[in-house]
Amino acid sequence: MTQNRTTRLERGRSALGPALELVHTGRAPTRAVLTAELGVTRATAGAVAAELEALGLIQVDSRPTAAAGSQGRPSHRLSIAPRGPVVLAAQIHADGFRAALVGLGGRLVATAPGCMTVPADPARVIDAVVEAGAGLLRESGRRCLGAGLAVPSAVAEPEGTALNPIHVAWAAGAPVRDLFAESLAKAGVPGPGNVPTAGFTGNDVNLTALAEHRHGAGRGARHLLCVATGHRGVGGALVLDGRLHTGSSGLALEVGHIPVNPDGRACHCGSRGCLDIEADPLAFLTAAGRVPGPEGSLLQQSRDLLRGEYGDPAVRAAADLLIDRLGLGLAGLVNILNPDRIILGGLHRELLDADPERLRAVVADRSLWGRSGGVPILPCTLDHHSLVGAAELAWQPVLDDPLGALG
Ligand SMILES: [Zn+2]
C-alpha cells in the first residue's frame, strides 16, 4: 500500500514538468486535453494540475465549462497564473539593448528599451541591461526564477564566449556568460531558491527559433529552420524535435556566411558576397539607393521603407534583389537540412510579406526538396522573439523539474 502510494507520487512528480510544458506552450488548454496528452488517468492529471497550481505556476478554473459549440463533456480550463513568477530576459543588439520580464507562456510582463552605442567593453552594456531588468523586477514585485541573455553572436560551448560579435564592437571571444553572471550577482537578481542566478546566454537567432517553436509560427514543426536578420547581419537556427541544434560546440547554423553573390562585397568573415552582408537591412537600404539616417535602427528604417514606399520602382527592385539572394541561401539550406518548415524573422519576414510568391518560387526552383514537396515558408509571429527565447533558457530548469526549482 505504502509502496503503491510512493510510486503514484513519484509518477505524479515526473509528470509535473511535461504537464507544465504543455500548459506553457498552449497545448493543454483544459484538464481533459492534459489528461489525453500525458496519457494518464483523470485522477493523476487532476493531481498534477492541482500541484502546479499550488506552486503558483498555473490556474485551474474551478468551474468546468464546455468549449463553445462543443458536444463534449465540460472540462476545467488551465491557464498561466496571472501573478505568477517571471524570469528576467535581456537582449543586446547593434543599437543598444532591451530588458524584459517574461512569464510562463512566453508572455511579456514588462519591458524597457535602452539605446546606446554598444561599448567595446561588453561588461558596460551587460551591466546596463541587467540594471534595467532589475528595475523592472523591483517595480513589479514579482518572484524571479532566473535570467537569460540574447547576444548578436555565436556563443561557444561550453566556454560561454561570444565568438563573432562583428556587429557590436566587442573583441572575439568576449566572456559574455561570465560577465552576465557577474552583473546578475551585483544587481542581486535571484533564481530558483532565491539565491543569485548565474543566468543563461545564447545567440539571438537561436533564441528566436526556440521562442517561435514554443509559442509562435514554429509550433508543431519537427525540423524547424529559422533565418532572420537582426539589426545588422543574418543568422540561422534549427530546432530538431523541440531542441535547438547547436552543433558540437554551439556554432551550428552560421547561415549568414553562405555565399549568395559570388562577385559581391567583401564580408567581415574573409569571404565575399555572404548572406550576412547581401541580405541584411543595410544591404536593402543601399540597394534602394538610400543613405541610412540617424533616426531609428537600420532594421526599422528598412522596414519603414519597404512598407511605406513599395510602389517606388527603386524600392521594389531592391526588394526583388534581396528576395532572390535570400531565396538562393534558403534553397541551399533546404537541400542540406530538409526542414519541414521555414520561418523568417526581421527584415526577411518583411520581404516574405512583400512578395511571398517570388520567394517561394526561388526556393522551389533552386532546391531539390523544395521542388519535390514545397517547404512551407512562414513569417515569425512573436514580438521580441529573442527576448522570449532568452526567457525560455531561464524557464528550462523549471520546466524540467517544477518541484525541484520551486520547492
Ligand atoms: Zn561572411
Q: Where are the domains of the chain?
A: 3-63+76-80, 86-206+385-405, 219-379
Quick one: fold of 86-206+385-405?
A: Nucleotidyltransferase; domain 5 (3.30.420)
Q: What is the DSSP letter of 105?
A: G
| Three-state secondary structure call for residue 316 | helix
Across the chain, mean pLDDT equals 92
Distance between CA atoms of 272 and 260, rounded to whole angstroms? 9
Residues having C-beta closer than 5 Å to ion ligand 1: 257, 267, 269, 271, 274
Paired residues of 238 in beta bridges: 225
Could you tell me the distance, in angstroms and rounded to a whole number, from the CA of residue 242 to the centre of ligand 1?
Answer: 29
Phi and psi of 102, rounded to 5°?
-125, 125
Neighbours of 220 (CB within 10 A): 10
H/E run at residue 162 = strand 161-162
83-109 pLDDT tens trace = 999 999 999 998 889 999 999 999 999
Q: Do 273 and 324 meet the contact criterion of CB atoms below 8 Å apart?
A: no
**C-alpha 220: how far from its chain's center?**
15
Within this chain, domains 3-63+76-80 and 86-206+385-405 share the same CATH topology: no
Could you tell me the distance, in angstroms and rounded to a whole number, from the CA of residue 287 to the centre of ligand 1?
Answer: 18
Could you tell me the distance, in angstroms and rounded to a whole number, from the CA of residue 255 to the centre of ligand 1?
Answer: 9
Confidence at 176, pLDDT banded by 50, 70, 90: very high
All 3 cell numbers of residue 283? Answer: 544591404
Q: Return the minimum-mean-pLDDT range out of 27-41, 167-181, 189-203, 338-352.
A: 189-203
- Domain 219-379 belongs to what architecture? 2-Layer Sandwich (3.30)
Specify the pLDDT at position 117. 78
Q: 78-80 and 58-60: which strand pairing? A: antiparallel
370 pLDDT above the threshold of 80? no
The amino acid present at 84, given as its one-letter code, is G
**Helix and strand tally (H, E) in the chain?**
15, 14
| CATH code of the domain occupying 3-63+76-80 | 1.10.10.10
Could you tell me the distance, in angstroms and rounded to a whole number, from the CA of residue 267 to the centre of ligand 1?
Answer: 5
Specify the pLDDT at position 3. 52
Could you tell me the distance, in angstroms and rounded to a whole number, from the CA of residue 122 to the centre of ligand 1?
Answer: 23
Specify the pLDDT at position 72. 66
